[in-house]
Amino acid sequence: METAAAPITTLAKASDLATHFMECGSLGANLTLAPGERLVITDDILGGAVNDFAAMSMAVIVARDTMVARTAILPLGVAAARADTNGRRRDKYERLFALIEESAFDSGARDAAQSLIHARFRDTQINELAHELGGTIQPARLRYRAFLDIVRMLTEGRISHASFIDEFHDFTRAVAGKLDFGIYSLCVDRMFTSPRIDIIVKAALLDEILAFPPLVRKELVTNLLSSPNAVPELVRQARGALADYMTRDEIREVMLFTTLKLAWQAQRTGRRHDDDAVEELTRRHGDGDEAYLDQARAVVARTRLGSDPI
């Protein structure tokens, strides 16, 4: 499996990207570059792919990935430091950082905002935050690259299935909260869809993931359920196992989010969404609840109205 490099993606207008991030936050989902596209990673911010003030501000506030949230606050801090201390621009930044401190989803982003406010946006504090962030991300990425060697050993038959699952467990524990979730998610997605990895290993990976915290589990499981490249047997197994790990409300959320991802895929590729497939998907875990089915239909209908916001 190749290293998860960020593919080239055409971004929308900056204001639309901020709106899309806000919608991701309202869904309780990780940020993506566009509906149906890959997750945002720190490289997108540091490399300038996400460089609009409004989009970065929204990312700091709503991002579920602590690395993305903490990275997005750095350019905002630099802009605040360069603002006229006697003018309205500094007031604007001070109000923004007060909002971040009060309402950001990620506690690391809230703490960073507080430290910058107290330091009056001095360069030394910004540099300290950047150094701390780099000291977290770089070791995690080295650990990720080492794990890719383990995946390669598995595909070459040089490591047992049981040993690989142990390595995956150790890797996950080592990089939790330190590696961009977008990179981790892509790694898991590729393992689930790789034809060179046995279905037995994929099933064991699924068992591991189903025991993850709800937010992480929702993203990874819905990626599998909506993947056009996953083997049907694994998808059926994932659907059947949901009740063993989740409450009824959590299952509904997973299936609704899966429906949304399927609708995004259909819209992005220009294919007509299959109404019968949507009905089957939602009824499978809806237990005949018409209100739930109406929610799913509304999710799909929303993607048909107007153009993509991104």
Q: Which of 229, 232, 237, 233 is nearest to 209 (CA)?
A: 237
- CA 16 to the chain's CA centroid: 18
pTM over cut 0.75: yes
pLDDT tens-digit readout, 190-226:
999 999 999 999 999 999 999 999 999 999 999 999 9
Would you state the pLDDT for residue 146? 97
For range 88-106, the mean pLDDT: 92
So where are the chain's domains? 14-121
For range 82-99, the mean pLDDT: 84
Would you state the pLDDT for residue 292? 44
Q: Which of 261, 191, 199 is nearest to 226 (CA)?
A: 261
Cα torsion at 230, 232, 233, 238 (round to 10°)?
70
Would the pLDDT of 17 be above 70? yes
48 DSSP 8-state letter:
T
Residues 83, 85, 88, 90, CA torsion sign = positive
Would the pLDDT of 180 be above 50? yes
Enumerate the β-bridge partners of residue 39.
32
From 98-112, 131-145, 173-187, 269-283, the region with the lowest mean pLDDT: 269-283
H/E stretch holding 145 reads helix 123-155
Residue 76's CB is within 10 A of a number of other CB atoms, namely 23
**Helix, strand or coil, per DSSP, at residue 3:** coil
Instruction: Tell me the two tokens of residue 213.
Output: 């915290």
* Residue reference for tokens 């989902």: 29
Would you state the pLDDT for residue 84? 73
Nearest-angstrom CA–CA distance, 99 and 263? 33
pLDDT tens-digit readout, 296-306:
455 444 444 33
* Proportion of the chain above pLDDT 70, given as a percent: 80
**Helix, strand or coil, per DSSP, at residue 149:** helix
Amino acid symbol at 112: A
Alpha helical stretches, state H, the chain: 14-27, 42-46, 53-62, 66-82, 88-103, 107-118, 123-155, 161-175, 181-193, 199-210, 214-226, 232-245, 248-269, 275-286, 290-304
Nearest-angstrom CA–CA distance, 136 and 36? 28
Instruction: Tell me the two tokens of residue 282.
Output: 């939602």
pLDDT band at 35 (very low <50, low <70, confident <90, very high): confident
Identify whether the C-beta of residue 224 lies closer than 8 Å to the C-beta of residue 240. Answer: no
Higher pLDDT, 135 or 89: 135
* Proportion of the chain above pLDDT 90, given as a percent: 70
* Residue reference for tokens 């046995």: 198
Higher pLDDT, 172 or 265: 172
Greatest distance between any 2 Cα atoms in the chain: 66
176 DSSP 8-state letter:
T
